[in-house]
Amino acid sequence: MQDPVLLNIQKWLRDHEAELLEDTRTMLRIPSVEAEPGPNAPFGETNRQALNLALEMATRFGMRTKDLDGFAGYAEIGSGEGLVVSLGHLDVVPVSPGWKHGPFEAAVDDGYIYARGTTDDKGPTMASFYAIRALKECVPQLHCRVRQVFGCNEESGFRCVHRYVAEEGPPTFGIAPDSAWPLVHGEKNIGSLTLSAPLYDGEVALRSASGGERTNIVLDRAVGKLWVSPSARAEVEEKLAGAWDRNIEFTWSGDDLDIVAVGKAAHGASPFLGDSAATRLFRFLLSIVPPSAEETFQNYLMATHPSGVGIGVHGRDEETGDLTSNMGVMSSDDRLHLSFSIRYPVTWSAEHLRELLEVKNSELGWDIETLSDSRGLYFPLDHPLVKTILEVHQLETGEAGKPEVIGGGTYARAIPNTVSIGTCWEGDGHAHQTNERIRVEHLFRASRIYAHILYRLSLQA
């Protein structure tokens, strides 16, 4: 027989679904992309607005709140030594054209909410927030603290959660609703890398190449400028006549060939789900340059390969699988600068990654400009936190579910005793892509599952 307290919690959530929907849509309408810092707003004014809204809601719901100088904030219920935390984030990645509805309209269409942040991560954060509100209303003598954290810098640095951990310390148990069901028990290491390469100069010359905003998004538009000498013009024009890529546009401006390549955005942890405009640009250039330039342009092209083979870092381990590489930002001045997000095996050290890069870049004659590292995580399947989440997931869905390993980086990697869990189901939109969406019923369902997980963990904390 199911716990009567849990039944009451889930009934409360069903009775307040309309309120959850409207509060979620209000949050989604705030365009909280990171921007220039301001007073008490280290990640920009709209980011600050989203945090203000969350803390105002928490106060209205009768929760205790704390603002960590705009880096993050939290809402808390209960009392006692134990602490169960749910970590969500209110910042979102930039948007590209092509949306069915405005990316910050939070339109409801055919049972789905369309908006940036619906699945990553405002929708899940609001569902978790309401789960904690339900605990407050239905378990007034909760002998454990339960806390919803609102991060503000997950997409571009984790400064928010580092500040949170420095001030608040680790929880007894933590979940981060920002990944896959039933949970993610392993996250690959993430290397942030910028390489610089000489701009080719010969019969043709690469004058410039640029595109992308974040390394964790597959680059969906790239532009380049190729100078073509009079001696090479006829050969290049002949090759242009046979050019096949319909996602490439080019125009002549004197001796310069201006090129625009269009691709498809995707999360940088799964670059193979997108279509890199940089790959299209360099493949196109390779197909039209004279033979004397082909080796250099092939090196540019191979640097965009999602396996990392072009920069010498491809590989795998048994725990977390294959390395992936996303070259998400490029620019040029007197050199070509390529910035990557590399998701690499959890058993590898940062030193090993650097050694591989140094070997390949020495061969290419390229330079490593910057290299930083975010360590991953790995929980064995018999860990109490993992076992509890698996049990709840099976009770709620009737499915055993298989824990996953991902290339994405969630808050779980930055906070001890924490794993990430699912946010959405089939039919919902992918994170970081155009037309991100979540089915309204899935938002409600997630909230009920989060409540069950948090309630069970609170009894163990």
Q: What's 90's domain CATH number?
A: 3.40.630.10
**36 and 142 co-located in one domain:** yes
CATH number at residue 201: 3.30.70.360
In this prediction, residue 343 has a pLDDT band, given cuts at 50, 70 and 90, of: very high
Instruction: Write the pLDDT tens digit of every residue in 66-76.
Output: 999 999 999 99
C-alpha–C-alpha distance, residues 44 and 4, integer Å: 44
Do the bridges between strand 183-187 and strand 404-406 make them parallel or antiparallel, or are there none, so unpaired?
parallel
Residues 256 and 302 in one domain: yes
How far, in whole angstroms, is CA 359 from its chain's centroid? 29
27 and 135 in a single domain? The answer is yes
Question: Alpha-carbon distance 188 to 404, whole Å?
Answer: 11
- CA geometry: angle at 23 spanning 141 and 7, to 5°? 40
pLDDT tens by residue, 210-228: 999 999 999 999 999 999 9
Same domain, 212 and 336: yes
Q: Looking at the structure, do residues 35 and 180 belong to the same domain, yes or no?
A: yes
The amino acid sitting at 81 is E
Q: How does pLDDT run across 413-428, given as a tens digit for each residue?
A: 999 999 999 999 999 9
Inform me whether the pLDDT recorded for 158 exceeds 70.
Answer: yes
Number of domains into which the chain is organized: 2
For the segment 363-386, the average pLDDT, to the nearest whole number, is 94
**Domain termination site, one of 341, 373, 405:** 373
**Residue 54 · residue 74 · CB < 8 Å:** no
pTM, rounded to two decimals: 0.77
Measure the CA angle with vertex 105, ends 100 and 111; round to 5°.
Answer: 65
Residue type, 217: I
The closest alpha carbon to 127, from 436, 458, 459, 422, belongs to 422
Inform me whether the pLDDT recorded for 1 exceeds 60.
no
Task: Say if residues 114 and 440 touch (Cβ distance below 8 Å).
Answer: no
Query: Among all chains, which residue has been given the structure tokens 């679904």?
Result: 17
Question: Are 260 and 389 in the same domain?
Answer: no
Q: Residue 2 — very low, low, confident or very high, per pLDDT cuts 50/70/90?
A: confident
- Alpha carbon distance 268, 156 (integer Å): 12
Q: Identify whether residues 233 and 122 lie together within a single domain.
A: no
Please enumerate in sequence order all residues whose Cβ is within 8 A of that of 9, keeping only pairs 6 or more positions apart, or say none. Answer: 134, 135, 138, 139, 451, 452, 455
**8 Å CB contact between 151 and 164:** yes
- Of 347, 137, 179, 181, residue with least CA distance to 267: 179
Note whether 229 and 338 are same-domain residues.
Answer: yes
Q: How confident is the model at residue 156 (pLDDT cuts 50, 70, 90)?
A: confident
Cα distances (Å, whole numbers) of residue 452 to 58, 144, 188, 386, 391 = 20, 15, 28, 14, 10
> 315, 348, 373 — which closes off a domain?
373
Give tens-digit pLDDT for 170-192: 999 999 999 999 999 999 999 99
**Amino acid of residue 139:** V
Same domain, 181 and 35: yes
Same domain, 384 and 415: yes
Question: Do 319 and 382 have their domain in common?
Answer: no
Average pLDDT for the chain? 96
* Boundaries of domain holding 454: 4-187+377-460
Q: Which two tokens stand for residue 212?
A: 């992308």
- 191, containing H or E segment: strand 189-198
Domain boundary among 373, 407, 435: 373
Name the burial class of residue 238, with classes exposed (0-12), middle (13-18) and buried (19+) by CB atoms within 10 angstroms of its CB.
exposed
**Measuring CA to CA, which residue among 298, 294, 343 is closest to residue 323?**
343
Strand partners, 77: 146
pLDDT of residue 18: 98
The more confident residue out of 409 and 98 is 98
Would strands 248-253 and 221-228 be described as parallel, antiparallel, or unpaired?
A: unpaired
